[in-house]
């Protein structure tokens, strides 16, 4: 069963891993201003796996970009470990929908790039990179170039690269959206096992309710644009050892609950798009 939970305030006495306070974002354009995010609060504790679902265009990527430090908010603040986010940092590793790898570098050097930029020697950076390629099952491909790998393998390199600076937080923007169902399921298992082994805090954006239920300890459903939290839940399935958990009645009921919440918002998002 998923249970409603208030994720606006820290749940423990200590500062949370991530705190979003009255965050909003508007984009200006020649045809006017678009409000992507309405002011909202969000608190993520260390070790949480938070999935964000919401209708298309509700500001999910904008939220992730602000937490990553790629965009600045219009109002409000973001804190990681109690410190304000003012730009990108090695404490947050980002994985995008497409691998976004450097095509002119080998897989090994793609993963070694982060440690190299933070001052490690080439041999130490490559050693770290090799360990991570082992973690994602790609050590045999270390000398290949990105174009020689399948989409799923490239995403695994993207994950290894995001882990290379040993960030406490992983920010993942629909990382498996472009993959076929089978590859996606394999990588979901892999990321679940990496999360269980490393206890990283993960902020994961997805359009897939099933993916959110399989991976997340917490789920937020966002409203149509301007996005803010419509509902938040604590979810038990990511910690389940039952390999058939997705076939259970509880899973189906949880899926229905989130689907119904999302459907209302998706309709509203569609109506907004239809307005000339």
Ligand X SMILES: Nc1ncnc2c1ncn2[C@@H]1O[C@H](COP(=O)(O)OP(=O)(O)OP(=O)(O)O)[C@@H](O)[C@H]1O
Binding site for ligand X (CB under 6 A): 27, 29, 34, 36, 54, 56-62, 225
Least distance (Å) between residue 53 CB and ligand X: 9
Pick the closest to residue 16 from 60, 37, 47 (CA basis): 47
SS3 content of the chain, % helix, strand, coil (to 5): 40, 25, 35
Nearer to ligand X, 62 or 106 (CB): 62
Nearer to ligand X, 59 or 69 (CB): 59
Nearer to ligand X, 61 or 165 (CB): 61
Nearer to ligand X, 74 or 166 (CB): 74
Least distance (Å) between residue 27 CB and ligand X: 3
Report the alpha-carbon distance of residue 34 to residue 188 in Å, rounded.
Answer: 34
| Distances 9 to 20, 92, 232, 248 between C-alpha atoms, Å | 9, 21, 12, 32
Angle between the 181-198 and 151-163 helix axes, to the nearest 10 degrees? 20
Nearer to ligand X, 42 or 142 (CB): 42
Least distance (Å) between residue 213 CB and ligand X: 18
Least distance (Å) between residue 141 CB and ligand X: 30
Least distance (Å) between residue 240 CB and ligand X: 27
Least distance (Å) between residue 174 CB and ligand X: 7
Least distance (Å) between residue 222 CB and ligand X: 7
Tokens of 219: 């789920």
Nearer to ligand X, 60 or 156 (CB): 60
Rg of the chain on CA atoms, in Å = 19
Q: What ranges in the chain are assigned the alpha helix state H?
A: 60-68, 107-117, 122-135, 151-163, 181-198, 209-215, 249-274
Tokens of 247: 């076939």
User: CB of 221 within 8 A of CB of 232?
Assistant: yes
Nearer to ligand X, 60 or 218 (CB): 60
User: CB of 140 within 8 A of CB of 80?
Assistant: no
Report the alpha-carbon distance of residue 172 to residue 170 in Å, rounded.
Answer: 6
């Amino acid at each position: 069963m998923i249970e409603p939970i208030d994720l606006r305030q820290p749940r423990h006495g200590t500062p949370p891993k991530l705190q979003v306070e009255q965050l909003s974002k508007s984009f200006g354009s020649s045809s006017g201003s678009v409000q992507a995010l309405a002011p909202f609060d969000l608190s993520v504790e260390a070790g949480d796996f938070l999935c964000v679902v919401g209708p298309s265009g509700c500001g999910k990527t904008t939220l992730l970009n602000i937490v990553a430090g790629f965009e600045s908010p219009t109002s409000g603040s973001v804190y990681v470990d109690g410190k304000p986010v003012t730009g990108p940092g090695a404490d947050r590793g980002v994985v995008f929908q497409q691998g976004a790898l450097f095509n002119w570098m080998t897989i090994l050097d793609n993963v070694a790039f982060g440690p190299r930029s933070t001052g490690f020697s080439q041999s130490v950076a490559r050693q770290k990179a090799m360990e991570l390629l082992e973690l994602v099952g790609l050590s045999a491909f270390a000398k290949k170039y990105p174009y020689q790998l399948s989409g799923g393998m490239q995403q695994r390199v993207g994950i290894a690269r995001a882990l290379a600076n040993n960030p406490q937080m992983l920010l993942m923007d629909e990382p498996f959206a472009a993959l076929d169902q089978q590859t996606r399921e394999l990588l979901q298992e892999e990321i679940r096992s990496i999360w269980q082994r490393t206890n990283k805090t993960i902020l994961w954006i997805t359009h897939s309710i099933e993916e959110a239920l399989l991976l997340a300890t917490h789920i937020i459903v966002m409203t149509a644009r301007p996005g803010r939290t419509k509902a938040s839940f604590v979810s038990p399935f990511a910690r389940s050892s039952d390999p058939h958990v997705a076939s259970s009645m509880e899973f189906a009921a949880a899926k229905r609950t989130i689907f119904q919440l999302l459907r209302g918002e998706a309709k509203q998002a569609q109506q907004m798009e239809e307005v000339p």
